[in-house]
A and B are shown apart, each in its own frame.
Chain A
């Protein structure tokens, strides 16, 4: 079961990167990047998982706190990661929209303004 989770994380990263490599559309490339990033979410949450544990809510301070929770640190890391993804994906998609406005297409093979 645990190996499966890490396998999913690795698969998402690799298939997302493969999507960028073979992409014929910039929007597809940016979304593939977001898919590659979801691999990191799966890895982080998988790292923090505890079998049979509850979400990281410790309960009221008056009573004995429930310590059998999943790791909250990785959930905080995942939330940070989600924010980063939102920012970067939005920025890159905005750039893709502008490219479409100038060029009329979003095919990376048709972008020839930068060549060595």
Chain B
């Protein structure tokens, strides 16, 4: 076991390196070889990364794997080295990102028309950035991989330069995320100024036990900003819908399934290890739960109001990201386990829905739910998978989403937040209803046909997906596109259905919040056993909650299919429509507005954290 651990530790940097090395290889090959060779080479590199991440993950399940790169190990707690620390959560996210990348590249074989290997090399750089961010134990390294991931994704989003919408989406995405990253770098500079170190365990070790002063609180807010922007937490979330609407569908799969959860993971990792010993837990709990609830509610209602399928899915991602933040914001092992289970299950179902949306673009050249009404009736299997995925979003058992939701609700109610089950089930029902409504309309023609003419009644009704013109036109769905969809749905089911997952998640959650053990293991090489909280199997209450939210989703979808809209004369409806109209108009597509909201968000975060600490 010791040999295996040591071997796995040295493999951790290789997992990052292999992905990054693939990019120049593909660029060199790009002009020389036919497209199919590029696909095979990129899939090979992604597969190699999956293998290496799997080894690291397997080693981490018996405890953390710590690697001080190039042998610069700490001496009596002092170090100048850079570390990679793989605990089950970090290694799990890296493995999941690599698997999602592999599925994306398989899907892209028919979906993407790539010139000179640019797409493939950008995807591998994206993978390298994600794996590096997940495994890193050094705060400046995290910034570096964050920027690598960022630059690759801005390029991938704006790849279709002939589409103005792509370019605008990429610009909004690039400016907001880069500004967030530079703000984080200011926070990192402040931390270095105070402490003189950049490694996470070292920072935590030096800060612990001291009362937080203005500089530490300021550093916390600034550092968290960049990662919360990436995690699309309200009010940093505006860029995500624009980016999702115009990026190619396999890239959207990675955004929702890996990149947004990584942003949330990094924010919590930095809080726990660096600031966990100084900023009081209760204050952060309040701050994160407020942000999480706000994000979940805004995302859920925005999702319901969308006609563009991918934009609807992006708001569903934002809503569920809010739920992850709320669950992680319980600041204990149980909430953490629930959040990551939920994220794993959600990645599978939302990813499958994005890939099916991509198939729809190839078949019918539009993403507007009203224009697509009934047009995909020839593809009942795809429709069944879409409905299954939508029910997965609505937390139908035994999907991983239902399991994660149940564990998170139990964690939150255990802390006294009795409204938590209502929030989790409500958001799952609303977002599931939005997806079900789309799926039923598009694949089965259910409900009243809203008419083909896309004449908007208000300016905010424009939802036509002109930003997604396909590279290929298909009559039937090729196996290279159908297989990843099926694999993703099965993956989401297996997260919830496999018996050992819940116990593994419990251990992972306990290790994630074990700050003292992380610091001791990374700096002093001493292992401490951490006992996980006890887990039970699926209980009747868990099943009931999941079935209830799914039933509510179906009911809401049915109301959307068959009901006429309530008359505007009813005061509640007028007020609600007015609020929704205001909310939608905030998502204006102007990057200046997004940056203004970013600073509002920093102020809110500073208020939530800083005021109680005074």
Residue ranges of A at the interface with B (Cβ–Cβ < 8 Å)? 9, 13, 17, 20-23, 26, 29-30, 33, 36-37, 39-40, 43-44, 47, 73-74, 77, 80-81, 84, 87-88, 91-92, 95-96, 98-99, 102-103, 108-109, 111-116
Contacts and interface: CB of A to CB of B under 8 A. Distances in A.
Interface stretch (B164-172, B345-353, B365-373, B503-511): B164-172
Given A77-B140, A80-B144, A91-B155, A26 B185 contact: no
- Interface SS majority for chain B: helix
A33 B589 contact: no
Contact of A17 (B168, B587, B595): B595
Contacts of A30: 175
B193 interface: yes
Interface stretch (B107-115, B441-449, B460-468, B530-538): B460-468
A75 to B, nearest CB: 12
- Interface SS majority for chain A: helix
B315 to A, nearest CB: 10
B318 interface: no
A20 B183 CA distance: 14
Nearest to B222: A13
B459 A115 contact: yes
Given A21-B596, A98-B167, A29 B591 contact: yes
Given A40-B186, A74-B192, A102 B592 contact: no
B179 A114 contact: no
B588 A40 contact: no
Interface stretch (B39-47, B239-247, B269-277, B550-558): B239-247
A7 B365 CA distance: 52
A9 to B, nearest CB: 7
Nearest to A96: B171
Contacts of A36: 179, 182
Given A9-B186, A36-B182, A113-B165, A20 B174 contact: no
B179 A111 contact: no
B11 to A, nearest CB: 25
Interface residues of B, number: 57
A91 to B, nearest CB: 6
Query: Which of A43, A80, A96: most chain B Cβ within 10 A?
Result: A43
B466 A116 contact: no
Contact of A84 (B147, B164, B306, B589): B147
B518 to A, nearest CB: 23
Interface in B158-217: 158, 161-162, 164-165, 167-172, 174-175, 178-179, 181-183, 185-186, 188-190, 192-193, 198
A109 B590 CA distance: 7
B185 A40 contact: yes
Interface in B2-20: none
A71 to B, nearest CB: 8
B168 A111 contact: yes
Nearest to B194: A47
B151 interface: yes
Interface string B577-598: 0000000110111111101101
Contact of B179 (A20, A80, A84): A20
Interface of B: 140, 144, 147, 150-151, 154-155, 158, 161-162, 164-165, 167-172, 174-175, 178-179, 181-183, 185-186, 188-190, 192-193, 198, 241-242, 245-246, 306, 311, 459-460, 462, 466-467, 584-585, 587-593, 595-596, 598-599
A116 B596 CA distance: 18
30 contacts: A17-B179, A21-B592, A21-B595, A29-B591, A36-B179, A40-B182, A87-B147, A88-B154, A88-B178, A91-B151, A92-B171, A92-B175, A95-B158, A95-B170, A98-B158, A99-B164, A99-B168, A102-B167, A109-B590, A111-B168, A113-B165, A114-B168, A114-B242, A114-B246, A115-B460, A116-B306, A116-B311, A116-B460, A116-B584, A116-B585
Closest 5 CB pairs of A and B: A113-B165, A114-B589, A47-B193, A116-B587, A21-B592
A43 B144 CA distance: 17
Contacts of A111: 164, 168, 589
A26 B171 contact: yes
A72 to B, nearest CB: 11
A33 B179 contact: yes
A91 B179 CA distance: 14
A108 B165 CA distance: 12
B590 A88 contact: no
Query: Which of A33, A81, A109, A116: most chain B Cβ within 10 A?
Result: A116
A95 to B, nearest CB: 5
A47 B175 contact: no
A95 B378 CA distance: 39
B72 to A, nearest CB: 13
A104 to B, nearest CB: 11
Contacts of A108: 590-592
Contacts of A26: 171
A44 B151 CA distance: 22
Contacts of B593: 21
Given A39-B186, A87-B151, A95-B158, A113 B590 contact: no
Query: Which of B162, B182, B193: most chain A Cβ within 10 A?
Result: B182
Contacts of B169: 114
Contacts of A113: 164-165, 168, 466-467, 589
A44 B168 CA distance: 32
B174 A13 contact: no
Contacts of B178: 33, 37, 88, 92
Contacts of B188: 77
A37 to B, nearest CB: 5
Nearest to B592: A21
Contacts of A115: 459-460, 462, 588-589
A37 B593 CA distance: 19
A22 B171 contact: no
Contact of A88 (B144, B150, B459, B592): B150
Given A47-B193, A114-B168, A91 B467 contact: no
B193 A20 contact: no
A88 to B, nearest CB: 5
